[in-house]
Structure 1
């Protein structure tokens, strides 16, 4: 492949849209005030087509993910009743415990689908390819299953590790934006976050690279299988769980832990 002169290389490179860049900086400033769930949907209007095409190819050209994405299967809305009769040690029993202990919403995916619909009505998602729309909607369905399968908890740095895991398995702007926003915040606002965030990212990345792809897999139809068997099949077995070391807890992590405790308290009181 011929190498372009430096001036031509610079001319050929796409630039970040400056209006979107301000939104990206807003997310870096305060991840909770302007999260990636909004940033992701704001990107498509100004996104370089070349970047969009590469994200699409990462899925459709993947030997396992491509056929599953083409099938476009969506699970029925999750309910705790679906897994109430699963035997101890099964995926379903672990999923049930995960949802109950963390006080998590049963219809997370349905809620995000409503957000997508609002953005679509505004015209902001006219350039969002169908396969990437499927990726984000199916991703919200499987997110808590992936917590269970990988062993990552819902604590902030474990959530970051899970995003790195998913990004290691498939180039995907939502996960990449999450890591970029967190590291941008750590770099420019809260340096105490740098080391624990990088520990989380590298742990999730390494696990995601060595494991088989679990993206789009219909684990909802495997809830009665032993969790240990599924982890072994997909290369998710590990000697010890990820335990983040935080000698000095960053403001971002401390704030999220406080939010989680309030959510659990509210769920327990309901």
Structure 2
């Protein structure tokens, strides 16, 4: 049986490529290296070119692309000594409480071959900082929200593909409607909740000032609330997808 419209687009090669990328995206929740591999495969395609174009429209982001700033690695011990309520102090308290490795991302190479390679590095290095700034919890309940901020700001292709794949897979696998009082993990499996997280994250990104050109490493001692006000970010402060609802953090956060 033939198809009237899709045959011209869905060539065997494009279908194979899509399924290869979708397989990586489907396993990203179990293995973060899937995300790194997905970003590597998307580093030079048309979607990355569009992302570069979007960044170049902002002078500060264009300068960051040209400079390819790396910054020092995150030093948890040093940040724990920063002023209470600062971005660095908050980041260090959260990462320590969760036992997360701040250097989880692939290290910077001696030089970046393409703008796409640099964008991939910078996005992953600042990913957990974005969690802290936006208030999205550092697990599956908040991931679609925080990655969608970058989608809204400069259509970062890896996160855009993860968003699209999450909706597509939920279309086929979700068998429940959102109901009041639904368990958060069950809620996170519904198509409606994922759509809401993605939409909210994109809107947060569009409302905020550009995050890509910020050298967070040079302003970790500044109050986190000062950062949020300056960047026009209203953090997620309630709901199971909020960092502030994470029982694992105890008193690690300051409001």
1:104 aligns with 100
Aligned Cα root-mean-square deviation (Å) = 3.1
Could you state the TM-score of these two structures normalised by the residue count of structure 2?
Answer: 0.75
Q: Write the distance in 2 (CA, Å) between the matches of 1:101 and 1:92.
A: 14
2:222 is equivalent to residue 225 of structure 1: yes
Q: 1:92 to 1:175 in 2, by over 3 A?
A: same
Q: Write the distance in 1 (CA, Å) between the matches of 2:67 and 2:154.
A: 17
Q: 1:52 to 1:166 in 2, by over 3 A?
A: closer
Give CA deviations for 1:172-217 in whole Å, capped at 9, x if unaligned.
1111111022112111223442011112111111111111111131
Give CA deviations for 1:217-269 in whole Å, capped at 9, x if unaligned.
1111111111111110000135x525258xxxxxxxxxxx9xxx9xx9xxxxx
Q: 1:152 to 1:29 in 2, by over 3 A?
A: closer
How many residue pairs end up in the alignment? 222
Alignment check: 8 A CA contact 1:90 1:226 kept: yes
2:82 aligns with 86
Q: 1:29 to 1:61 in 2, by over 3 A?
A: closer
1:170 aligns with 154
* Superposed displacement of residue 59, structure 1: 1.8
Aligned partner of residue 69 in structure 2, secondary structure: coil
Please list every run of 5 or more consecutive structure 2 residues that lacks an aligned counterpart in the other structure: 1-6, 176-188, 250-255
1:19 aligns with 16
* Superposed displacement of residue 40, structure 1: 2.7
* More helix per residue: 1
